[in-house]
Structure 1
């Protein structure tokens, strides 16, 4: 996944667009999604962001659908729980489970729909940033915004070594599967405990190797980042501002209609 996101971020159709504009555009859309009181604006952001990613950024639909699968499945399960446990009004669906009635009411269904819409819109906006802007540009941009150096450097190391440890875990798991380490529940638990312990030792070793490598390169406590500045064109700024204004107008109009 690390190689996948970085590869597409380096060669997508919006690669030459200003990183500052893309970050402002994506974060603005996320803010509108999470602040909307009705699902209309988040659904509009989700649909339009998906079209931007697929058409303008030229990300293959197969890749994009795989990325959306996990957060959407989690959102659907969470929304179902919210719909069953929350709300008032007329009963839309009732289920008798061991003498206890579980039902979905109007307010619960509306809240569940809003939760799905917010998650969908926010994730599409987040994937817009991830699939069109390399992480090194995001870190350089944060550095130019006067974010503390220690926070940025720590984030860079965490981002890098998350995927290093995932690769190590995948290699160990594949070796265990080839040796029938998951043939039963008991052996699966033993294999998992062994994987966790070995992964902890590997992470410790990777940290020591990192310190030695950085000392060998005369590390003085600072990682320099070079930001490749690209000025945003006027039509790009106008298009981004018009889009965010439209999404905000939809959010406000739908909220007022819901209140009325």
Structure 2
């Protein structure tokens, strides 16, 4: 369970550097309110994500889905419901109430959307840059319960089983023109879900019996993976975070 894909920054190669970069970035995004800092992080995050996942179509789809959810939520936050507002940029009366967009509500929603997108970008960067073995090793160092780690490992393994099973069933349905019309698509989707559940359940039972025969006692041995970090990389991340915090709180 190794991950050969690396982040756009070659200096961030150690496990401690990756975790520090993620924690500092999320802390800056959630605490800093200056537009200059948020836009700086947004531009850097978009550039890094484009370089990290430009060859992975599924990652792009999931990323766009999350960003579209943020955009829709921001549109709702822009609306102020109540009485007629003379300072509103746009307003309309509906159901006996005035729905308006004001200067404050617009910039509040835009700033919140920027923070949410930056958080999504940091999570995406962490997911493509850290392997499962590194994550499990970090969790063990943080004294996370073994039962929770075991659940994560088994879930991670069965995700690929679900994906492969769904791919095989859908391929068979496509060959039989299962998605030729909207009605057939609905019927085929229902059959797909039921077949994936049945096949995955059967496979999990067989796999669990095989694990018990081989002496499984509730603990999966996972090799540890912890890449050494450079002092220069940690120092650079820390100094950069301190500079951004100073810009935010001392109002340079």
User: Do Structure 1 and Structure 2 share a fold, with TM-score over 0.5?
Assistant: yes
Match of 1:81 in 2: 76
Aligned equivalents of 1:144, 1:180: Cα separation in 2: 52
Alpha carbons of structure 1 residues 107 and 13: separation in structure 2 relative to 1, 3 Å: closer
Is the aligned partner of 1:174 residue 2:171?
A: yes
Displacement of 1:233 in angstroms is 1.6
Aligned equivalents of 1:100, 1:170: Cα separation in 2: 49
**Residue segments in structure 2 that go unaligned for 5+ positions in a row:** none
Displacement of 1:191 in angstroms is 1.5
Is the aligned partner of 1:232 residue 2:220?
A: no
Q: Which moved more, 1:59-68 or 1:120-129?
A: 59-68
Q: How does 1:97-176 map to 2 (within 5 A)?
A: 102-176=99-173
Alpha carbons of structure 1 residues 128 and 111: separation in structure 2 relative to 1, 3 Å: same
Displacement of 1:117 in angstroms is 0.8
Q: Which moved more, 1:11-20 or 1:169-178?
A: 11-20
Compute the TM-score of the two structures, normalised by the length of structure 2. Answer: 0.80
Q: May I ask how many residue pairs the two structures share in their alignment?
A: 248
Instruction: Select 1:59's aligned residue among 19, 44, 52.
Output: 52
Cα pair 1:83 1:108 within 8 Å, conserved: yes
Match of 1:184 in 2: 181
Alpha-carbon displacement from aligned partner over 1:133-168 (angstroms, at most 9, x marks no partner): 112211111112211111111112212322331332
Alpha carbons of structure 1 residues 248 and 171: separation in structure 2 relative to 1, 3 Å: farther
Is the aligned partner of 1:243 residue 2:240?
A: yes
Aligned equivalents of 1:15, 1:143: Cα separation in 2: 25
Cα pair 2:8 2:48 within 8 Å, conserved: no
Aligned equivalents of 2:158, 2:11: Cα separation in 1: 25
Aligned equivalents of 1:89, 1:221: Cα separation in 2: 66
Compute the TM-score of the two structures, normalised by the length of structure 1. Answer: 0.78
Alpha carbons of structure 1 residues 190 and 229: separation in structure 2 relative to 1, 3 Å: closer
Aligned equivalents of 1:216, 1:43: Cα separation in 2: 56
Alpha carbons of structure 1 residues 108 and 223: separation in structure 2 relative to 1, 3 Å: same
Q: Which moved more, 1:93-102 or 1:149-158?
A: 93-102
Alpha-carbon displacement from aligned partner over 1:187-218 (angstroms, at most 9, x marks no partner): 22222221121121122112213212322432
Aligned equivalents of 1:144, 1:168: Cα separation in 2: 35
Q: Which moved more, 1:58-67 or 1:129-138?
A: 58-67
Displacement of 1:250 in angstroms is 4.2
Cα pair 2:52 2:125 within 8 Å, conserved: no
Instruction: Select 2:41's aligned residue among 31, 40, 45.
Output: 45
Match of 1:198 in 2: 195
Match of 1:91 in 2: 88
Is the aligned partner of 1:30 residue 2:23?
A: no
Alpha-carbon displacement from aligned partner over 1:54-95 (angstroms, at most 9, x marks no partner): 6xxx63645598264222222112211222356988322345
**Residue segments in structure 1 that go unaligned for 5+ positions in a row:** none
